[in-house]
Every structure is written in C-alpha cells, then in structure tokens.
C-alpha cells in the first residue's frame, strides 16, 4: 500500500468511527433515559438466563435507523436483528447492550458496542460504557482512546501477578466446565475478575485495569469493537493453538502474558462443554 492509499484508508476509518461514536452516544443516552428501575425480561435465547429486554431491541432499532440514514447501502449485523445485507463492503457489527444481565440488575458495567468492517476487517470501533460515562474508541492504525488519552495495555506482567478477567456461559453444562477450568487458573494468577460484559472486559485490558481476559462463548458482536480497541492498545487477541478469536475461545493480553495464559489454558481443554 502506498502513502496515498494509506491516508485514504485512515481517513475512511476515522470518518466511520466518528459516525459510530455519535450513534453509540445517542443510543446510550436513550437507554439511560428509558431504563426503568427494574427492566422486564422480554424473551430468552440460548437458556432461561440468556435474556433480552425491550430496550435491547429498541436500542438496536435506533442504531440501525441512524446507520440507514447516514449510509443506506451498508450492511448491518446486530445481535438482536441478525444480518442485513448491503453493498459496498462496509458492515456494521452491533451489540445494543453488551452485559444485558448487568443492565437488568442495575449493575454499572454494560455497554453499547459498535464495530465497523471494511471488506471483512474491523477498522473502527466504539464501546460506550453507559453507566460510567466512558467512551472507548479505536480506528485501525489510529490507536485506542478514552477521554482524549491514548490507551496502553499493561506489559511485562508475569502470569503469577496477572489480574485476569473472565466470563461464564448461560448453559449449566458449560458453566460447570468453566468452573473446573477456573479452579485450575486461580492458583496460577494474582486474582480473577468477573465483570459481566465481554466488551467492557476487553476495554479494561486496553486501559490496564486488568492484565488479561479469556472466555469461551463470546460472540462476534461482543468483541468486534472492543477487540480492535484492545489490539490498538498493544494487546494480542486470538483463540487457542494459533486460531483466531471465536465463540470457542477469546484470549487477550499483552504479548508474553498472552502466551503464558494460553499455555496454562490449553492442557485444561477449556473449549469442551
């Protein structure tokens, strides 16, 4: 790629990021304004604990409408509304509320997550941690940012001193396996944190609030935006044994710690159910 192409791609990514940021802010403000004291469960998905609220759907409808107004030819993949085809190679990857159970219970870590692909690659991402008023952003090659400060993940942290975030699935059988794996991880690290939002956890890696993150069962819309934020902050994101991040496994940490945590997890067979 020559300098002109690079500048064009960077400008395009920044333009998409600006639009995504404005939409994420608007959706977050709507959710705060309309959230009742205790939102009601509208439906369940993979299990009785995998819930959807009316505001999940309302937020995604708002996000989709704003994208359609600004860029009517773009594709959209949303957690609630599925995949809407488009033209031109741009696709928006939307999780209207990542951390719906936290949202339901009034806990402070839930977020609006919007990533933007160009030709299958995420080039812009925003994670709006609404209760905390934090807007994490990144563009490919442009760094990761929070409140005007460039983010850098923690480096040089050995496994034994690492604060590690993780999450759990909704099905009882998967939770049982995840607890078994966790029991083997806990003695090897500083401590564990369970926040309840993949997107927020990955942004916490980017911001140095935790040193690493791993989880089985994270979907693409959970990590599309936040994964870019973590990578632009210097972290490595992937799966096990050289595979890309997927619902089988998401693992994120600075180089060095990534490999140590990876090598701890692999013999524990964390991808089984």
Q: Which residues are annotated as a binding site?
A: 79, 95, 97-98, 222
Active site residue 56: no
Residue 166, token pair as written in the block: 């993780």
Beta pairing partners, 78: 82, 94
Cα 167 to Cα 59: distance, rounded to the nearest angstrom: 24
Catalytic residue among 74, 98, 117, 271: 98
Kindly report the number of other CB atoms within 10 A of residue 177's CB atom.
Answer: 19
Q: How, if at all, do strands 163-166 and 191-193 pair?
A: parallel
**Residues near 163 by Cβ (< 8 Å), separated by ≥ 6?**
189, 190, 191, 192, 193, 210, 211, 212
Write down the catalytic residue from 56, 74, 80, 95. Answer: 95
Annotated catalytic residue within 80, 117, 215, 222? 222
Tell me which of 21, 100, 137, 166 is the catalytic residue: 100
Q: Which residue has the tokens 């107004």?
A: 69
Q: What does the DSSP assignment read for 171-227?
A: SHHHHHHHHHHHHHHGGGSSEEE--S-HHHHHHHHHHTSSSEEEESS--HHHHHHHH
Q: Is 79 a catalytic residue?
A: yes
Q: What CA–CA distance (Å, rounded) separates 79 from 69?
A: 20
Active-site residue, 95 included: yes
Q: If 0-12 CB within 10 Å is exposed, 13-18 middle and 19+ buried, where does residue 46 land?
A: exposed
* 87 assigned to active site: no
- Give the residue ranges of the annotated binding site for Mg(2+): 79, 95, 97-98, 222
The yes-or-no answer on residue 98 being catalytic is yes
Q: Just list the catalytic residues.
A: 79, 95, 97-98, 100, 222
């Amino acid at each position: 790629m020559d300098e002109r192409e690079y500048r064009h791609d960077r400008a395009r990514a920044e333009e998409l990021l600006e639009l995504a940021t404005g939409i994420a802010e608007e959706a977050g403000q709507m959710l705060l304004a309309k959230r009742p004291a205790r939102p009601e469960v509208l439906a369940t998905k993979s299990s009785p604990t995998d819930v959807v609220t009316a505001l999940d759907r309302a937020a995604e409808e708002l996000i989709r409408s704003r994208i359609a107004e600004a860029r009517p030819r773009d594709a959209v993949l949303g957690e609630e509304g599925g995949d809407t085809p488009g033209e031109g190679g741009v696709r928006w990857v939307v999780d209207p509320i990542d951390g719906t159970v936290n949202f339901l219970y009034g806990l402070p870590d839930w977020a609006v997550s919007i990533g933007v692909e160009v030709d299958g690659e995420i080039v812009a991402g925003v994670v709006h941690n609404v209760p905390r008023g934090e807007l994490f952003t990144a563009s490919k090659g442009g760094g990761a940012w929070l409140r005007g400060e460039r983010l850098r993940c923690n480096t040089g942290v050995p496994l034994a001193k690492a604060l590690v975030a993780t999450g759990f699935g909704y099905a009882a059988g998967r939770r049982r396996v995840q607890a078994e794996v966790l029991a083997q991880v806990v003695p090897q690290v500083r401590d564990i944190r369970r926040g309840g939002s993949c997107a927020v956890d990955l942004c916490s890696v980017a911001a140095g609030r935790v040193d690493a993150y791993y989880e089985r069962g994270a979907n693409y819309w959970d990590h599309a935006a936040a994964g870019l934020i973590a990578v632009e902050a210097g972290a490595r994101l992937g799966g096990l044994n050289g595979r890309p991040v997927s619902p089988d496994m998401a693992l994120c940490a600075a180089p060095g710690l990534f490999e140590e945590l990876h090598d701890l997890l692999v013999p524990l067979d964390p991808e089984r159910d």
